[in-house]
Amino acid sequence: MKTMIRLEAASFSYDEADSSKTALDDINLEFCEGEFIGIAGHNGSGKSTLAKLLNGLLLPTKGDVTVLGMNTKNENEIKEIRRNVGMVFQNPDNQMIATIVEEDVAFGPENLGKPPYEIRDTVDESLALVGMAEYKDKRPSQLSGGQKQRIAIAGVLAMKPKCIIFDESTAMLDPQGRKELLDTMHRLNAEEGVTIIHITHYMEELITASRIIALNEGKVAFDKTPRDAFSDLSALSPLNLAAPEVVQIADGLKIAGFPIEGTALSCEELVEAIWQLKQSL
């Protein structure tokens, strides 16, 4: 697989005078094209700082971040980097630029200097991709939180990015809005081949990720598949991360003396495992 983003010994400190107070400390990571990567960590673990390093909103104080071979420190390539790596933020209200939905979606391609007829096409296409085509003439204030976040995604998609970072984009949404957003992420990943980097502290949102990277105190605590990550719950608790409900139930059953095979990640898997256990008894 082709490398999308690579971090080499990247460190970041918000305090310019004292670089020993690091928000991120010596991070080495590689994100590949087409992956669905979950980044988890409690408040202050450095996950939002990491997100901002990935498209050059912040530059590493030590080490390098390269996007498709372009270093984020290179000012001439920053526009190309940001076109390829889009970002959806936490608060839907603070990322709407225009007063009309379609004008907001057009903001990115307008900045790239695309001709008007081409912008029109990409805007309609992007809105259709997130299922918001019929809302194009609405005001953002008339939409729900989940819908606003989908408009934000459309705004990013209009730049035709290879990768989208979701920086705690589900945190301010109700369960319905979170589900809508997660479905959209997975669809973009599966059908459009967009690399997704999803930053969250809800572990159940990462069950279907291809990889989970946990951060703690500015360092990578682990980088595993969900199945491996949830097979050892004792590794999660020092990171202040709560395992998904299904995993917790399975773990509780094991402790109570029911030896369930493997690590169940979904309700179906857990039912299957319990069924098999019952048959073997």
Site residues for another protein per CB under 8 A: 52, 55, 57, 79, 82-83, 86-87, 89, 91, 93-100, 102-103, 106-116, 119-120, 123, 139-142, 155-156, 159
Residue among 58 and 203 whose Cβ is closer to another protein: 58
**Min CB(200)–another protein separation in Å:** 18
**Min CB(181)–another protein separation in Å:** 16
Residue among 113 and 257 whose Cβ is closer to another protein: 113
CA distances from 76 to 34, 53, 82, 161, 165 (A): 26, 17, 12, 18, 22
Residue among 67 and 220 whose Cβ is closer to another protein: 67
**Min CB(266)–another protein separation in Å:** 34
**Min CB(141)–another protein separation in Å:** 4
Q: Which residues share a beta bridge with 167? A: 199
E-only strand ranges, the chain: 3-12, 24-32, 36-40, 62-67, 70-71, 85-88, 163-167, 195-200, 211-216, 219-224
- Rounded-to-integer distance, Cα 238 and Cα 72, Å: 33
Residue among 167 and 180 whose Cβ is closer to another protein: 167
Q: Which residues, other chains included, contact 255 with Cβ-Cβ below 8 Å and sequence gap of 6+?
A: none
Secondary structure percentages of the chain, helix, strand, coil, to 5: 45, 20, 35
**Min CB(44)–another protein separation in Å:** 18
**Min CB(48)–another protein separation in Å:** 11
Task: With beta carbons less than 8 A apart as the criterion, state whether 216 and 23 touch.
Answer: no
Residue among 107 and 258 whose Cβ is closer to another protein: 107
CA dihedral 137, 141, 144, 148 (to 10 degrees): 70
Positive/negative CA dihedral, 258, 263, 266, 272: negative
Residue among 8 and 80 whose Cβ is closer to another protein: 80
